[in-house]
Amino acid sequence: MNIAVLIKQVPDTETKIKIKPDQSGIEEGDIKFIVNPYDEFAIEEAIKTKEKIPGATTFVVSIGPERAGEAIRTALAMGIDKGIHIVNNEPALDSYLTAKVLHGVLKERNISVIFSGKQAIDFDHGQLTQMLADMLDWPCVMITESFQLKEDKSGAKLVRRLGGGAKEIYEIAFPFLVGCEKGLNTPRYASLPGIMKAKTKPVEKLLVSNYLEGQSAFVSYKNYELPPERMAGKKLEGEPQIQAQSLVKLLREESKVI
Amino acid sequence: MYNILVLAEHVEGKIKKTTLELVGKASLLAKELGGSINVCLIGSKTESEVHALAAYGAQKVFLVNQDQLEKYNTIAYTQVLAQVVSESKPTILLATASPMGKDLFPRLAARLKAGLVTDCIELKINQGKLIAKKPVYSGKAFATGHFNTPIQMATTRPNSFPMIVADPNAKAEISSVTFDPGTLCAEIKEVVQGLVGKTDLTEAEIIVSGGRAMGKSENFQVLQALADVIGATVGASRAAVDSGYAPHDMQVGQTGKVVNPKLYIACGISGAIQHLAGMRTSKVIVAINKDPEAPIFSKADYGIVGDLFTIVPLLTEEFRKLLSES
């Protein structure tokens, strides 16, 4: 049984974003890149699932420039068996093209389940997993906060988190895709032996350009800009009672939000 | 002829306010385009809600009324919408960036081979095509999506557009759609309802959030009491969630929810960059913190340096007085 994980390398959450002068994107110069936090839950769930299925193989797939290889090594150090690095030297891929490339690479690999993060925290599109699901004609459960393999290992029971405490509970047979949410599990750290082992695990290198089939992006993103700076407003002085009274008055009369 | 198709959402038999907001925005775009505005309403027993959609500008409502569609199902809803699209031939398709819109639209976009921009905060028309601005890096920056496809799709963040004035006398044409669901391979076995009347953070108009200073989960009661009085939803910072004071569902910020309320009250939250990213588009920000140097004060419209456990109950009392007068 083959278990795949889709991961992306993204800027660390601490990153202060700077925009290129021509507004075509962000300055990558001094950014520290990490594995997309939601993808860590996907990696962990793939490893846990493999541990319950004798003979199963896990592999991690990432599209990106050379540096994305680091993210793949991180996943291998955590315990994933193999890597596929689809090197991208092309202009920006939109979600559709990304899904198309992944579909081309994955469709013939006899996969039972694909785990991904629910979204990547760089562009926050949240599109890829469902798009790939539609191309594969597989079901997909996004925002998954619980994944329980069925006893006969023919599928799983999943809980999808909606807003306001509401949930949907699914029972699906393989194959399908899972978009992982924080809370699904606690991702393990890479152990030192794990890091050493990762260096010798196989990573297959492919090229994005071989899978585009002449298709160009459906959406081009331009005019990157920073949000308008918020100015510090009024500090309300006085005794707590007075502070509370002035705040209520200001929210009612000045900003009119209450 | 340019048509806009909006996917409506309803809860407990009523059209959601976020849908009415979006239909209103769509009707302004339709005027600019010289096109008409259609709405797709899926579910069972929803016919009585057509007037609400008409009041905000819907000219035609595609009504898909079937018992099997009462519960949301990604694959079935994708098929239904694809069918409605082939009938209504829209050039622009819009939905709210709700759990349903976020789940359904990417799948539908792949099916229709249409470009999609998610979680938009601004929609414009340029030379007959949609232009959609969205936050990236959790709101640390914005980017604008330009489409290269005949059909252009977008999901929009709740509370991004002003409500238009409703016309209670407006009427919409109804077009009933029948749909054969066939076999659904990812059927929902069970739906666990949230707390009745609880608005999700991403749709909330007012949010009261607590940070690490909350100290323990029971203390969130203090914020809940205030929230109950002003009709707010309670949120939390990552520090509070990681300390186990609040569930992840309540987390506001880069690895939690990005919110867009008209009023955000941050209590005992220092204002880490990841948190600010998640709430910076709030119309008005209030910060209550003991530490006068907390970064949150540099982004807040109103700041109170003080202990939240003193200030928040006083605020609750003051709001109670104010709101009982009016």
Which amino acid belongs to residue B261?
Answer: P
* Nearest chain B Cα distance for residue A206, angstroms: 23
Domain region containing A7: 2-211
Is residue A38 within 8 A of residue A120, CB to CB? The reply is yes
Taking CA A94 as the corner, what is the angle to CA A90 and CA A95, rounded to the nearest 5 degrees? 130
Q: How far apart are CA A230 and CA A232, in angstroms?
A: 7
Task: Report domain extents, chain B.
Answer: 3-183, 206-325
Partner residue facing B189 (CB), from A26, A131, A171? A171
CA distance A176 to A206: 24
Residue A83 lies in a domain: yes
Kindly give the pairing relationship between strand B10-11 and strand B14-15. Answer: antiparallel
Q: In the CATH hierarchy, which top-level class contains the domain B3-183?
A: alpha beta
Same domain, A242 and A202: no
What radius of gyration do chain A's Cα atoms show?
22
pLDDT above 90 for B289: yes
Rounded Cα distance between A81 and A15, Å, is 30
Q: What's the confidence (pLDDT) of residue A228?
A: 87
Model confidence, pTM = 0.94
The Cα–Cα gap between B236 and B192 comes to: 23
CB-based contact (8 Å) between B45 and chain A? no
A128 and A246 both lie in a single domain = no
Q: Which of A36, A113, A135, A221 to mutate to test the interface with B (most CBs of B within 10 A)?
A: A221
Task: Write down the H helix ranges in A53-199.
Answer: 68-78, 95-106, 128-136, 192-198
Place of tokens 């920073």: A226
In the prediction, which pLDDT does A211 show? 96
Q: Kindly state the tokens that stand for A88.
A: 């991208």
Considering the domain architecture, whether residues A146 and A253 belong to the same structural domain is answered as: no
Asked if B263's CB is within 8 angstroms of A258's CB, the reply is yes
In terms of residues, how long is chain A? 258
3-state secondary structure of A168: strand
User: Which among A134, A219, A240 is the nearest to B110, CB-wise?
Assistant: A134
Q: Return the residue matching tokens 């029948």.
A: B178
Common-topology check for domains B3-183 and B206-325? yes
Say yes or no: A126 and A171 in one domain.
yes
Nearest C-alpha of chain B: how many angstroms from A201?
30
Give yes or no: residues A198 and A245 share one domain. no
Q: Does one domain contain both A135 and A258?
A: no
Q: Work out the mean pLDDT of chain B and round it to a whole number.
A: 93
- Phi then psi for residue A154, to 5 deg, are -95, -5
Domain presence at residue A236: yes
B289 contacts in chain A (CB < 8 Å): none
For residue B254, give the nearest of A13, A94, A168 by CB distance: A13
Q: What token pair was written down for A41?
A: 């839950």
B114 touches chain A (CB under 8 A): yes
- Determine the residue of chain A that is closest to B116 in CA distance: A219
Higher pLDDT, B221 or B180: B221
Nearest CA in chain A to B203: A163
Question: Chain A residue with minimal CA distance to B310?
Answer: A240
Q: Cβ–Cβ of B304/A176 closer than 8 Å?
A: no
Q: Which of B257, B203, B278, B119 is CA-nearest to residue A127? A: B119
CATH number, domain containing residue A131: 3.40.50.620
Sheet holding B206-210, edge to edge: A234-235, B302-305, B284-289, B263-267, B206-210, B233-236
Between A183-192, B100-109, B188-197, B255-264, the lowest mean confidence (pLDDT) is in B188-197
- Domain co-membership, A257 together with A205: no
Same domain for A205 and A243?
no
Does residue B187 register a pLDDT over 70?
Answer: no
Number of domains, chain A:
2
**A221 located within any domain:** no
Q: Strands, DSSP E only, in chain B?
A: 3-7, 10-11, 14-15, 36-43, 60-65, 92-96, 115-120, 122-126, 129-136, 141-147, 152-156, 173-176, 188-192, 206-210, 233-236, 263-267, 284-289, 302-305
State the smallest CA–CA distance between residue A216 and chain B in angstroms. Answer: 9
Q: Is residue A224 part of a domain?
A: no
Q: What is the reported pLDDT for B217?
A: 96
Closest chain B C-alpha to A236 CA, distance in angstroms: 5
Please name the CATH architecture into which domain B206-325 falls. Answer: 3-Layer(aba) Sandwich (3.40)
pLDDT for the residue B91: 97
Same structural domain for residues A140 and A181?
Answer: yes
Query: Average of pLDDT values for B3-7?
Result: 97
User: CB distance A165–B195 less than 8 Å?
Assistant: yes
Of A139, A221, A252, the CB nearest to B186: A139
Beta carbon pairs, A and B, within 8 Å: 266
A112 shares a domain with A41 = yes
Min distance B65 CA to chain A CA atoms (Å): 21
One domain for residues A113 and A72: yes
The reply to whether A122 and A186 lie within a common domain is yes
**Residue pair B190/B72 in contact by the 8 Å Cβ criterion:** no
Our CA-based measurement puts residue A233 at a distance from the nearest CA of chain B, in whole angstroms, of: 4
Question: Are A240 and B311 within 8 A, CB to CB?
Answer: yes
Residue-by-residue pLDDT tens, chain A, 258 positions? 999 999 999 999 989 999 999 999 999 988 999 999 999 999 999 999 999 999 999 999 999 999 999 999 999 999 999 999 999 976 789 999 999 999 999 999 999 999 999 999 999 999 999 999 999 999 999 999 999 999 999 999 999 998 777 889 999 999 999 999 999 999 999 999 999 999 999 999 999 999 999 999 999 999 999 998 888 899 999 999 999 999 999 999 999 999
- Enumerate the residues of chain A whose CB falls inside 8 A of the CB of residue B191: 166-169
pLDDT score at B183: 59
